[in-house]
């Protein structure tokens, strides 16, 4: 099958996506907890870097999921795109502005030009870049779907090559990683693959079910070791982290998507329910977890360097973020604070 049709009837939601979101948000919180230790040079640097590398699948998961959601529900009509986009603008854009204002106040940014730059680039707080990134993908999605019509195999290969090329051209060995965070070119393969999976989700499930879990775990372990070693070796030589953009991390993220998608139907229902529930509230957790970490880091400052402080920060941040999002979601206007659940 070489061609892809993007016209399809509306269908029910894909249950695996909330599971991936639940896994992904754990990675997001872990990255920001250990990055604090790396940045301020406390704690065990080896453990921090290893945990950082192991958690770098997180944002690729969310970019992938966004692609799946768009193409899965896509109707090849202009009115669907605008309904989709305006709905996201309402339920993602308004919370983005609210939390951006919180960040502007936190960092005492009151200059008009600085405010405009922060809002446009998603830098009012360190995690808000993702909202700017994903809105760019939403705007580009119809064009990318047309690109996928060249055949899913060609689209995959071209997007992978493009992803790796932009890394080596603009970031290797140490380019401006801050600009890369909101540049769709550095994330394009995840979104393209998401679009293709959303279009061919039933076929994707059938193919994935034929893969032996044992073999997939072995491949995942090998790629994980390579990716962790790559990040750690760069850190030892330079003291810098290459974030999500290393080619080894691209491989690690994709093999993790396959593994966790396959695990969805293989694990205990109770465990599955925990991650799925967390995934349904993941957007609100994502928005609020950084302000909560700000507070936690101030409260635990005398204990920086103690590994238990990082464990404590991770658990408390996750718990408080989830409880906050859950409660706010029950309030009438809570959707404008924590986004729409599910």
pLDDT score, position 304: 85
237 has a pLDDT exceeding 90 = no
pLDDT score, position 75: 54
Radius of gyration of the chain (CA): 20
CA distances to 1, 52, 114, 148 from 144, rounded to whole Å, are 19, 31, 32, 6
CA distances to 34, 38, 287, 297, 310 from 314, rounded to whole Å, are 9, 15, 15, 11, 6
> Considering the entire predicted model, what is its pTM?
0.93
**What percent of the chain stands above pLDDT 90?**
74
Average pLDDT along the chain: 90
**What percent of the chain stands above pLDDT 70?**
92
- pLDDT band per the 50, 70, 90 thresholds, residue 39: confident
CA–CA separation, 181 vs 194, rounded Å?
A: 19
pLDDT score, position 13: 80
Helices 15-39, 307-329: crossing angle, 10 deg rounding: 140
Over the stretch 253-276, which tens digit does the pLDDT of each residue have? 999 999 999 999 899 999 999 999
Over the stretch 188-222, which tens digit does the pLDDT of each residue have? 999 999 999 999 999 999 999 999 999 999 999 99
In the chain, domain spans: 15-338
Average pLDDT over residues 32-47: 82
Over the stretch 139-194, which tens digit does the pLDDT of each residue have? 999 999 999 989 989 999 999 999 999 888 887 766 667 678 999 999 999 999 99
8 has a pLDDT exceeding 50 = no
For the chain, what's the residue count? 342
6 has a pLDDT exceeding 60 = no
Over the stretch 308-326, which tens digit does the pLDDT of each residue have? 889 999 999 999 999 999 9
Over the stretch 121-133, which tens digit does the pLDDT of each residue have? 999 999 999 999 9
- pLDDT band per the 50, 70, 90 thresholds, residue 234: confident
pLDDT score, position 128: 97
pLDDT score, position 281: 97
């Amino acid at each position: 099958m070489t061609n892809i049709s993007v016209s399809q009837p509306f269908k029910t939601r894909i249950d695996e996506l909330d599971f991936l979101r639940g896994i992904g948000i754990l990675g997001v919180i872990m990255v920001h907890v250990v990055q604090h230790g790396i940045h301020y040079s406390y704690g065990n640097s080896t453990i921090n870097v290893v945990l950082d590398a192991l958690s770098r699948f997180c944002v690729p998961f969310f970019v992938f999921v966004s692609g799946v959601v768009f193409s899965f529900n896509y109707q090849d009509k202009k009115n669907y795109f605008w309904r989709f986009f305006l709905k996201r603008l309402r339920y993602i854009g308004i919370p983005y502005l609210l939390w951006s204002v919180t960040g502007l106040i936190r960092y005492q940014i009151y200059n008009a030009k600085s405010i405009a730059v922060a809002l446009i680039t998603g830098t009012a707080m360190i995690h808000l870049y993702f909202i700017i990134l994903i809105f760019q993908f939403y705007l580009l999605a119809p064009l990318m779907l047309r690109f996928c019509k060249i055949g899913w195999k060609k689209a995959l290969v071209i997007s992978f090559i493009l992803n790796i090329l932009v890394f080596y051209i603009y970031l290797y060995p140490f380019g401006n990683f801050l600009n890369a965070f909101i540049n769709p070119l550095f994330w394009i393969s995840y979104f393209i693959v998401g679009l293709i999976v959303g279009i061919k989700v039933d076929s994707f499930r059938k193919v994935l079910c034929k893969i032996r879990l044992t073999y997939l775990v072995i491949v995942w372990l090998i790629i994980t070791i390579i990716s962790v070693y790559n990040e750690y070796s760069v850190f030892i030589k330079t003291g810098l982290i290459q974030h999500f953009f290393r080619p080894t991390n691209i491989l690690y993220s994709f093999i993790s998507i396959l593994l966790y998608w396959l695990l969805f139907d293989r694990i205990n229902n109770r465990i599955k329910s925990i991650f799925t529930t967390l995934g349904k509230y993941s957007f609100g957790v994502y928005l609020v977890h950084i302000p909560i970490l700000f507070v936690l880091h101030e409260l635990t400052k005398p204990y920086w360097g103690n590994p238990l402080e990082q464990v404590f920060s991770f658990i408390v941040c996750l718990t408080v973020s989830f409880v906050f999002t859950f409660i706010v979601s029950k309030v009438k206007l809570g959707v404008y604070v924590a986004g729409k659940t599910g």
